[in-house]
Amino acid sequence: MAVIDLANPSRFLGFANRIIPWLGALTLVVFAFAISRAMNAPDDYQQGATVKIMYLHVPGAWLGMLGWGLMTMAALGTLVWRHPLADVAAKAAAPIGAAFTFICLVTGSLWGRPMWGTYWVWDARLTSVLVLFLLYLGVIALWRTVEDPSRAARAAAILTLVGALDLPIIKFSVDWWNTLHQPASVLRLGAPTIDPSILIPLLISALAFTLLFAVLLLAAMRNEILRRRVRTLRLLQASTAS
Amino acid sequence: MSALAAMLARDLRVAVRVGGGALIGVLFFLVVVTLTPLALGPDLALLQRIGPAILWLAALLANLLALDRLFAADHEDGSLDLIMTGRAPLELVVAVKGLAQWLTTGLPLVIATPPIGLFLNLDAKAEGALVLTLLVGTPGLTFIGLIGAALAVTLRRGGLLLAVLVLPLTVPVLIFGVAAANAAVMGPVPFGTPFTILCAFTLASIVVGPFAAAAALRQEME
């Protein structure tokens, strides 16, 4: 079966139904491996056991950004090719990306409390992730405001593309803003080089969360396709009943 | 070209007539600036220090107020359909509407800034920097706002959604506007650095805003 065949929603449903159990099982296995590696990874010499929050925090940040990247590609699919599956992918990716961004914010906050002595600082990186989270919520709000799914998809696609243009500028400006007011050196986490004993569990953990993202996305897309079918059937039923 | 000029003249005329609300933004600006010292306390030294930030925030919010009627009013009376079937490119028409919007809401804010700045104990240098940054920054706010206004045109809770969609996108304007105004007074960076970035952002939004807003209008009105 060629990839292009998946453009048909029915074929996509068949594909999703077949692959979700296998991908889910693989995710569980990788998660079990990642947890055991993370638990056995050495503590940081300065931060102690709290460094283990990183195995949740860093994948959250990475998938939060990946989510917007996927939505941007789906937005191009929506606007350029009017592709119905791109609409579905964009809609399904938004809450998942928002959830991972939220995980990144919450775990970062819990990590900051013992390490920096506060739950929140207006550090450049924290602020730009917060703005990303706000943009996610804006897109979700837009999806929930427009009733017709294909119109909502195009409105959300335009907002997603504008956000994708603006996000690097926001990131840059927030970096500039922070370095102007306070040196970032206080809040930097030591040298950027990570010891392999911590880096490898982190990469495995990132892989596990990426698989989870894929499974959740496929399942959410399947649910969205079914939801649209139910909606169409109900509309038909209502119009024939009267 | 004459169609666009007529569009500009019409929008300006509608804005200053009854129900147009061209100067309500300035009134809102004044009210916000009046309320802020009531919340912070009448410490003139503190107000002088955070005055540029207060004025920028108030300008950001005042700019937002007028946006939700920008396309919605035309949509309600049917003129938006006529505009879209007209021969003038929709992107240019949207840009002209943005210009008219800025002339009736952004520019009055800039003009009102010096007297309102006196309430916040700003000196002449700070006032000058603030007027310059607002003059350059408010078109950026308007043209980013165009996108939100176009997206929200047919929605029932459009105004509320508009604020949620547009405000996060204006983070760079706010940061560099306030940074430039502060840099002129206390440094340490020269005024030109944040100011030129602010100019760049405004120019970029003048390019992107009309295209995105026109695309949004097309798909809304289908």
Q: Which two tokens stand for residue B87?
A: 């021969």
pLDDT reading at A217 higher than 90 = yes
Distances (CA, A) of A183 to A47, A113, A180, B16, B183: 21, 19, 7, 48, 17
The DSSP-derived string for B80-137 is HHHHHHSSS-HHHHHHHHHHHHIIIIIHHHHHHHHHHHHHTT--HHHHHHHHHHHHHH
Residue ranges of chain B with pLDDT lower than 50? none
ipTM score for this prediction: 0.84
Task: Look over chain A and give the mean of its residue pLDDT values, rounded to a whole number.
Answer: 83
Chain B nearest C-alpha distance from A213 (Å): 25
Helix (H, G, I), strand (E, B) or coil at B49: helix
Give the burial class of A155: count Cβ atoms within 10 A of its Cβ; 0-12 exposed, 13-18 middle, 19 or more buried: buried
CA pair distance B158, A50, nearest whole angstrom? 44
Q: CA-CA distances (angstroms) from residue A37 to A34, A232, B52? A: 5, 48, 52
pLDDT score at B208: 92
Q: What was the pLDDT predicted at B45?
A: 85
Domain range list for chain A:
13-183+196-233
Q: Is A135 on the interface with B (CB under 8 A)?
A: yes
CB-CB under 8 Å, B189 with A169: no
Q: Which of B50, B56, B91, B151 to mutate to test the interface with A (most CBs of A within 10 A)?
A: B151
Give Cα separations from A235 to A12, A89, A221, A232, B13 (angstroms): 23, 23, 21, 5, 45
Whether A155 and B212 lie within 8 Å, measured CB to CB: no
Taking the model in full, what pTM does it have? Answer: 0.86
pLDDT at A45: 67
Mark yes or no for CB contact B175/A145 under 8 Å: no
Q: Is B161 on the interface with A (CB under 8 A)?
A: yes
Is some CB atom of chain B closer than 8 A to the CB atom of A106? no
> In terms of Cα–Cα distance, which of B84, B106, B34, B38 is closest to B222?
B84
The pLDDT assigned to A145 comes to 86
Which of A158, A163, A173 faces B175 most closely, judged by CB atoms? A173
In this model, does residue A2 exceed pLDDT 70?
A: no
Q: A183 versus B75: which is more confidently predicted? A: B75
* Contact flag B155-A79 (C-beta cutoff 8 Å): no
Task: Give the pLDDT confidence score for residue B181 in this predicted structure.
Answer: 87
**Distance, in angstroms, between B155 CA and closest chain A CA?**
7
pLDDT category at A194 given cuts 50, 70, 90 is low
Under 8 Å CB-to-CB from B9, ≥6 apart: which residues?
Answer: none
Asked if A145 has any chain B CB less than 8 Å from its own CB, the reply is yes
pLDDT tens digits, one per residue of A103-153: 999 988 888 888 777 888 887 778 888 999 999 999 999 888 888 888 888
Considering only CB atoms, B147 lies closest to which of A79, A162, A177, namely A162
CB contact under 8 A, A159 and B161: no
